[in-house]
Amino acid sequence: MKQVILSIFLLLNVSVYAEESEWWEYYDRTKTIHLQFVDEVRKGYTVSVTWTPDGGLAPMLTGPALIHFNSNKKYGAESFSIGAEYFHIPADTLSEAGLELFKDDGYNLSVDLSKTYKIKYSPYKKISLWNNIHHFEESGAREQTPFFFEDIDFDGIDELIVTSFNSGQRGDNEYSVYKLHTRWSNVVYKEMNFKPFSFIDQHTTFDKQNKDIKKYYSGGSCANSEDIYKLIDGRFKYIEHKKWRPSNSMIVGSICTESTFDIVDGRRVVKSESDDYYDNNKRKWVKVCDENAATQSKSYLEFVMRNKACLAGGLQK
């Protein structure tokens, strides 16, 4: 009986994997899906999309697209297009438009390529970099719009920001920023491929009050770094660098050292260093304010007591 059940289970799994394989083969970047946002995405503009999704990319579906911004004005505006390598529309939105990704508890391997699927842009207008709605800890699926407009460099003119889904570090979203230019009265958006705008993803943090951008690079536990840019005299300048590196102590085990550098004439100058150790009882990193405790203590208890005393002001570095 167990062998019969196992055989049925294996057959079902083979069927599922075959269907998934067929899905990848069906959406192979050769099928062009046409989308139309029925509402205005910006005053005077509606948007249509020609999209050739890849069934092997996440989230489902994701892939290259050309986003066409179509002017609704007879005079005073121009139409233009922007490419997106990792364009995505959620499955529920596509389903509402009549494009079903699943059918009969399996993958739907049919799409009407002659049809233009109508969707709405209004549910996606919540996104903002400066308000950190994009941040991986704050964002939700509906807030991850495929594109939006925001003044990211404080010049009073909105930039066009295009989302690249799951293409950033740790599989999070990345954002390409395009700046508005006018050429002989024509609208032209050019990518801002210079720092700090050349790489922005869901780990980037914005401080609207202080007008600075913190670009975090995740390398794993205590192997990360961060570059900080601040708006000074109308330009974002590289002002600070942080990095974390691991070391070990016989007393407390893992120690994480944080080093902070000022940027002086383009070079990094050490500003400060501090250590943290992982407290297994509290399950979090705790700052080591007595820098000699890890090497001079004879036991873990002595180390903890020295560090507690330091935190309470009993010891001085």
Averaged pLDDT, 154-168: 93
Q: Which residues pair with 261 in a beta bridge?
A: 241, 270
Using alpha carbons, list the distances in angstroms from residue 119 to 92, 97, 124, 134.
Answer: 11, 6, 11, 22
Tally of domains within the chain? 1
Nearest to 220 by CA among 250, 256, 249, 195: 256
The predicted structure's pLDDT at residue 304? 72
Residue 278 maps to a domain? yes
The predicted structure's pLDDT at residue 240? 97
How far, in Å, CA of 151 to CA of 181, rounded? Answer: 14
Residue 141 maps to a domain? no
62 — pLDDT class (breaks 50, 70, 90): very high
Cis peptide before 146 (omega within 30 of 0): no
Q: State yes or no: pLDDT of 254 exceeds 50.
A: yes
Using alpha carbons, list the distances in angstroms from residue 224 to 26, 28, 215, 243, 312.
Answer: 39, 36, 11, 6, 29
Residue 290 maps to a domain? yes
Structure confidence by residue, pLDDT tens digits, 10-55: 344 444 454 778 888 899 999 999 999 999 998 889 999 999 999 9
Cis peptide before 231 (omega within 30 of 0): no
Pair 254, 248: CB distance under 8 Å: yes
Q: Which domain holds residue 306?
A: 219-317
Structure confidence by residue, pLDDT tens digits, 96-152: 999 998 887 788 888 899 999 999 998 887 788 999 988 876 665 555 789 999 999
Residue 88 maps to a domain? no
Averaged pLDDT, 184-198: 87
Residue 229 maps to a domain? yes
SS (H, E, C) the chain: CHHHHHHHHHHHHHHHHHHHHHHHHHCECCCCEEEEECCCCECCEEEEEEECCECCCCCCCEEEEEEEEEECCCCCCCCEEEEEEEEECCHHHHHHCCCCCEECCEECCCCCCCCEEEECCHHHCCCCCCCCCCCCCCCCHHHCCCEEEECCCCCCCCEEEEEECCCCHHHCCEEEEEEEEEECCEEEEEECCCCCCCCEECCCEEECCCCEEEEEECCCCCCCEEEEEEEECCEEEEEEEEEEEEEEECCCEEEEEEEEEEEECCEEEEEEEEEEEEECCCCEEEEECCCCHHHHCCCHHHHHHHHHHHHCCCCCC
Q: How, if at all, do strands 80-88 and 62-71 pair?
A: antiparallel
- For the chain, the average pLDDT equals 83
Residue 310 maps to a domain? yes
* Number of Cβ within a 10 Å radius of residue 169: 14
Query: pTM for the whole thing?
Result: 0.81
More confident position, 142 or 192:
192
How far, in Å, CA of 6 to CA of 30, rounded? Answer: 38
Residue 63 maps to a domain? no
Residue 264 maps to a domain? yes
Q: How many CA atoms lie within 13 A of 37 on its CB side?
A: 25
Positive or negative, the CA dihedral 50, 188, 121, 140 is positive
Averaged pLDDT, 191-210: 94
Average the pLDDT over each of 56-70, 163-177, 243-257, 289-303 and give the range with the smallest value: 289-303
The predicted structure's pLDDT at residue 281? 67
Structure confidence by residue, pLDDT tens digits, 203-238: 999 999 999 999 999 887 788 999 999 999 999 999
* % of the chain exceeding 70 in pLDDT: 79
